[in-house]
Amino acid sequence: MNFVRCDQTPAWALLERHQKAGEWDIRAAFESDPQRFDRFSQSAVGVGVDFSKNPLNDETQTLLHTLAQQCGVADLRDAMFAGEPINTTEQRQVMHWLLRQPAASLGGALAQPLALVHETLDAMLAYAEQVRDDAQISDVVHIGIGGSDLGPQLVVGALHQPDITGKRFHFVSNVDGHELAAVLAGLQAKSTLFLIASKTFTTAETMMNAHSARDWFVRQGGTDTARHFAALTSNRKAAADFGINQCFGFWDWVGGRYSLWSAIGLPIAIALGETGFRQLLAGAHAMDRHFCSQPVQTNLPMRMGLLDVWMRNFQGHATRGIAPYHSGLRRLPAFLQQLEMESNGKSVDRQGHSLSHATAPVLWGEPGTNGQHAFFQMVHQGTTVVPMEFIVVRKATHDLSGHQRALLANAVAQAQALLVGQHDVGGHRHFSGNRPSTFVWLDALTPESLGALIAFYEHRVFVSGAVWGINSFDQFGVELGKTLALDLAKRWDSNDAQGLDGSTAGLLRLLK
């Protein structure tokens, strides 16, 4: 495949000129166009997005669409969905989408991998039902990190109803024993199921926690490892060497941060049951179809991925705040951090040449309304403009009177305050306004809608990465620190500081 780098396209130069020529007063844009909300909002597969409070106009959109075309974004998308190895640095296919593809719906070379996907899915869902029916298992401890933790944690946190399953879920990721010890303190071996989730089954944190969990289990008198441990991994051999027989596999074409749809999603399947898990997959698949079939003008992940490029490269915003106004979505900021920053935090193109344009912004955030009482001061009046993303759910998942109205009013008010500001008061009480935000909504928080929302974000990140000309599917940037940590761990007891820089040697002396 031959792709033109975004900064070498005619559209890029036109966008630069367009940005310089514009006023970009969002308030004024609303005053002059009563239809602006409708023209810059769109719903697809139950995910609604209002991006009218961003500095863009019709010409911006047209130029961005041309940019996508000149960069070959749709071609790269089609290559991904055709099973071509678009993860070129690792020579791998990128096929997390296949995990949510209906059974027997593809022919050719993808028919067999799809059949394997469904074989594994059926086995995993049958096991999940068995665990759900097992009244003796009251606690499920999921041990994994990064993509083997964040997706399952997000979805279980959003959709699990403990009164229905009668089970508690615990997520342990950190190598800090404080986390595992606190979880184990409240458990009994006979009623605990450990899920060891690691694509590679070599990740240091997960392996250390898995060994400590097994030691604890044995010390507690636990014997039936087959019943109390399951592995979710593409490295079946390592799981067997660890002593786990119950293993659910997946494939090297599933990236860690895209793996919640695979066996890594077993805790989700236990929490939601077979029907719920299949609904989650169906919601994501519907978003896949939308992404693959719609022209750029009505393609929601395309439009938003291109807007992200506009905001990063032409409006110069190096950050985005994520504020889910639903406590069930409290792990969404962390999930999106990995999705976007691990995928697109790169500074070389697919061929390894340095980039002269910016890539992934810094993502961060907290659920609203809590964030309002922490960092929103800076968002409203600080010297750095932070484009905010508000995520709301229209229908409440509880029946406590008054809360939902207060919650949604707060979300809308924050976006309104960022836009309109406050000008009749000076000094400390002055709000500049004209600060951008995007509003995302779901009608209700269901397995389908959450599946569609997550797939929407996956594809949106794909689009900006494709424009930037980077490989969004490797993560070599996490390797150096891992290697150095292993080296330092070896030096810990020998006190060997040879060859270390002065600060590292000093910290080693101090901490050991």
Closest chain position to ligand F6P (CB): 256
**Least distance from C-beta 267 to ligand F6P, angstroms?**
14
**Least distance from C-beta 206 to ligand F6P, angstroms?**
5
Specify the residue, 147 or 301, whose C-beta has the smaller distance to ligand F6P. Answer: 147
Residue of 237, 395, 403, 482 marked catalytic: 482
Specify the residue, 125 or 145, whose C-beta has the smaller distance to ligand F6P. Answer: 145
3-class SS at 129?
Answer: helix
**Least distance from C-beta 485 to ligand F6P, angstroms?**
12
Torsions phi, psi for 328 (to 5 deg): -65, -25
Nearest to 404 by CA among 325, 344, 333, 342: 325
Residue of 211, 237, 353, 373 marked catalytic: 373
Specify the residue, 11 or 260, whose C-beta has the smaller distance to ligand F6P. Answer: 260
3-class SS at 469?
Answer: coil
Specify the residue, 262 or 449, whose C-beta has the smaller distance to ligand F6P. Answer: 262
Specify the residue, 19 or 347, whose C-beta has the smaller distance to ligand F6P. Answer: 347
**Least distance from C-beta 266 to ligand F6P, angstroms?**
13
CA distance 209 to 97: 30
Q: How many CA atoms lie within 13 A of 158 on its CB side?
A: 31
- Cβ neighbourhood burial of 161 (10 Å; 0-12, 13-18, 19+): exposed
To the query of whether residue 482 is one of the catalytic residues in this protein, the response is yes
In degrees, to the nearest 5, what angle opens at C-alpha 245 toward C-alphas 190 and 123?
A: 95
Torsions phi, psi for 363 (to 5 deg): -105, 145
Amino acid at 405: R
Residue of 342, 366, 389, 448 marked catalytic: 342
To the query of whether residue 342 is one of the catalytic residues in this protein, the response is yes
**Least distance from C-beta 483 to ligand F6P, angstroms?**
13
Residue 214: partners with Cβ closer than 8 Å, 6 or more residues away = 194, 225, 229, 242, 243
**Least distance from C-beta 172 to ligand F6P, angstroms?**
13
What is the DSSP pairing of strand 41-44 with strand 47-50? antiparallel
Orientation angle between helical segments 58-71 and 10-21, nearest 10 degrees: 160
Specify the residue, 256 or 345, whose C-beta has the smaller distance to ligand F6P. Answer: 256
Write out the residues near ligand F6P by the rule CB under 6 A.
145-148, 198-200, 203, 206, 256-257, 342, 475, 478
Number of other residues whose CB lies within 10 A of the CB of residue 374: 9
CA distance 460 to 346: 16
Instruction: Cite the active site residues.
Output: 342, 373, 482
